[in-house]
Chain A
């Protein structure tokens, strides 16, 4: 870069921490609708953070991605997930292979790992990246963790979008977002993949009468 961009805002740090906390809700709560609200809230924080980064850095293309992510991640996708939950009439709350207390404990461990891993590998150019990259990595890993420990198909989708949010934030904090065309492609992929997964959650519910993926055991060796 010709002249270094300085983003040194307390506000973004606070937003990052709040995002991390709303991701932990995903592994720490048993209510499905709370998780979707947490997703919408996290996406909203992410949008605000990316708007602030656009403002501080003066890179105009970030405003475009901010706008799209507001429409897509804060409004459309949570709405779609609520629609699926209502349509499939999911009554039982989230079931997990391990207990909530243990999940919370493990996600604390994940956050520590994320901090150690990023601090030892990457040389930080500024404090902004130093604060935000470990958080984004932790969000990604917690999303991954939620995907592998939760039984419900819809929670796996929630874990996936958490991973995606984490990576979006990682791209913002390391290099102020990807090139615009790549970002547009990413949004398109996220949109289509969540829609397809939604259709399959519905179909699995119709034919298995549950969306508990532990019951998906037709295909074995």
Chain B
């Protein structure tokens, strides 16, 4: 009962949000609900941490260090995002962008989205995990198309079609896994539980598992935003309301990556680590390279940040693919770092949009003068996301690169050399584009001051984590990350 409660809290919050009247109450319910989820998750994770892993409801639920990290990111960014929503959506509501009923639906879908993401991380059954990943698409389609203008509808249509097709291909991978487990195992294989599959993974038919992993990587990779299946991502991330974009980039991508890693572990145990690691590396590098031109010539800042997410998810895939102790450790740390830094960046983007009413970078100048706090946080967030020392992303990127260069494997060294060049190019494009917005004289007369206290609170909350990891990785996090390495390696 201890794990299901984590899933029940967001559902109760969602239902409470839609049943209340008025436009002020749902936002407080939403903040309270996501805070309780966060607090409960810390309590739960502490329990798991002391027992190493936790199985609930006859093996239906399963959590270990990998789940801890992902649920922690979901609840942390979820809380920050609900705090931010309280400010952002209220300003938009007061501007008459949508009705009160739609606002309540927004909070309902927001918490259902949190619920589906938590579901992905705590479920043991790979079939149900597939259902949950598909459910994340379904619960967010209306959020992408929330404003319901032409471009939002287009983004939502593209999102649901491309992601559903991708996920349907992943289903073929699940079916192949199920087939190989049921023919290798008999009765025990009929459950499709990850823990059961792992114990006997070495008895599977290698061809089948290879094929299954390929389908899973393409399917879940579509949802994770790996190139060349990423085409829905910039549209959906730029058209969704900013708090949702933050959840998309920071958390949703990691949830799909979590699904890939679960299969990666089974595949490595069956056919050796080389096969799935190479695939992860190739797709990762393609993603990083594909994002470069779009970052260099981008005109829309939300799309810029979205392409940066493709780069970072590619980086995480590369780190997992390198497979060394510190690469995996660094990739997982990067997952956390990217989640907080990118969400922070999307929060800044939301503030800019509220202030300037445009998504074009041309129309925005002198952010530091009009909204000083947002401006300063934006500078820090941009430096952090591009991997500038001493910020958190630098720490994890350095770890992965240092480990790959010292691995002695020529193949890996070529990949990481290319990666260094890509990161440098992306740094140039990013800083050039964003710093033009931050400095300079404001183009039109815009009243100075911040738009909402809630948004600043949410940003400071995330900024705290960005700064902490920059200088110091807490021992608890360090322990969890090395446990993840053990889980990945034990294969």
Q: Please indicate which of the listed interface residues B142, B172, B175, B192 has the most CB atoms of chain A within 10 Å of its own CB.
A: B175
A1-39 toward B: CB 8 Å interface, digit per residue (1/0)? 110000000000000000000000000000000000000
Contacts A123-B205, A181-B128 given; does A208 touch B150 at CB 8 Å: yes
Report A170-192 CB contacts with B as 1/0, cut-off 8 Å: 11001100110110011011001
C-beta contact mask, B138-159 vs A, less than 8 Å → 1, else 0?
A: 1001100100111101111110
- Asked if A185 and B128 sit within 8 Å, CB to CB, the answer is yes
| B interface residues, Cβ below 8 angstroms from A | 125, 127-128, 130-131, 134-135, 137-138, 141-142, 145, 148-151, 153-158, 160-161, 164-165, 168, 171-172, 174-176, 178-179, 182-183, 186-187, 190-192, 205, 207-208, 211, 234-235, 238-239, 294, 297-298, 303
Instruction: Give every chain A residue within 8 A of B127 (Cβ-Cβ).
Output: 178-179, 181-182, 185-186
* A218–B134 CA distance with the chains assembled, in angstroms: 26
In the assembled complex, A74 has its CB within 8 A of some CB on chain B: no
A196 touches B165 (CB 8 A): no
Contacts of A175 in B (CB 8 A): 175, 178-179, 182-183
B205→A203 contact, CB < 8 A: no
**Smallest Cβ-Cβ distance to A215: which chain B residue:** B154
Name the one of B141, B158, B176 contacting A216, with C-beta atoms under 8 angstroms.
B158
- Restricting to A112-147, which residues have a CB under 8 Å from any CB of B? 121-123, 125, 140, 144, 147
Can you report 16 A-B residue pairs in the complex whose CB atoms are below 8 A from each other? A160-B165, A167-B171, A175-B178, A179-B190, A179-B191, A182-B192, A186-B131, A189-B131, A189-B135, A189-B138, A192-B138, A193-B160, A196-B141, A207-B150, A208-B153, A219-B235
Given contacts A1-B186, A122-B207, A221-B294, contact A178 B154 (CB under 8 A): no
Q: Cβ of B154 and Cβ of A196 under 8 Å apart?
A: no
Going nearest first, the 9 A-B pairs with the smallest beta carbon separation are A182-B127, A185-B131, A174-B179, A218-B151, A216-B154, A189-B134, A175-B179, A175-B182, A219-B235
Number of A residues whose C-beta is below 8 Å from B? 42
> Contact between A204 and B138 (Cβ–Cβ < 8 Å)?
no
Provide the residues of chain B in CB contact with A219, threshold 8 Å: 151, 154-155, 158, 234-235, 238-239
Complex interface: chain A residues within 8 A of B205 (CB): 123
Main secondary structure of the interface of B (DSSP, over half): helix
- B-contacting residues, A22-58, CB 8 Å: none
Q: How far is the CB of B122 from chain A (nearest CB, A)?
A: 15
Query: Once the chains are docked, how many angstroms separate the CA of A37 from the CA of B372?
Result: 61
Q: Is A156 an interface residue (CB 8 A)?
A: yes
Instruction: State the A residues within 8 Å of B (CB).
Output: 1-2, 121-123, 125, 140, 144, 147, 153, 156, 160, 163-164, 167, 170-171, 174-175, 178-179, 181-182, 185-186, 188-189, 192-193, 196-197, 200, 203-204, 207-208, 213, 216-219, 221
| Cross-interface CB contact of A174 among B137, B158, B175, cutoff 8 Å | B175
In contact, B131 and A182 (Cβ under 8 angstroms): yes
CB of A167 within 8 A of CB of B150, answer no
CB-CB under 8 A from A123, the residues of chain B are 205
Contact A171 B183, beta carbon cutoff 8 Å: no
Do residues B142 and A196 form an inter-chain contact, with CB atoms below 8 A? Answer: yes
Tell me whether A200 and B165 are in contact (CB under 8 A). Answer: no
Q: Is the CB of A121 within 8 A of B178?
A: no
Report the nearest A residue to B205, measured CB to CB: A123
Residues of A within 8 Å of B151, CB to CB, are 218-219
Across the interface, do B160 and A200 meet the contact criterion of CB distance under 8 Å? Answer: yes
- Min CB distance, B198 to chain A, in Å? 17
* Cβ B172 vs Cβ A213 within 8 A: no
Closest to B139 in A: A192
* CB atoms of A213 and B160 under 8 A apart: no
Query: With A and B bound together, what is the CA distance between A17 and B359 in angstroms?
Result: 53
Chain B neighbourhood of A213, CB < 8 A: 157
Distance A163 CA – B166 CA, assembled complex (angstroms) = 11
Question: In the complex, given contacts A163-B168, A207-B153, what are 11 additional A-B residue pairs having Cβ atoms less than 8 angstroms apart?
Answer: A1-B182, A2-B186, A160-B168, A167-B168, A167-B175, A174-B176, A178-B192, A182-B192, A186-B131, A193-B134, A219-B239
Q: Give chain A residues whose Cβ lies under 8 Å from the Cβ of B234.
A: 219
| B208 near A122: Cβ-Cβ < 8 Å | yes
Selected contact of B172 from candidates A140, A156, A160, A189, CB within 8 Å: A140
**How many Å lie between the Cα of A171 and that of B171 in the bound state?**
10
Docked complex Cα distance between A216 and B208 (Å): 39
Give the residue among B125, B171, B178 with the most A Cβ atoms within 10 A.
B171
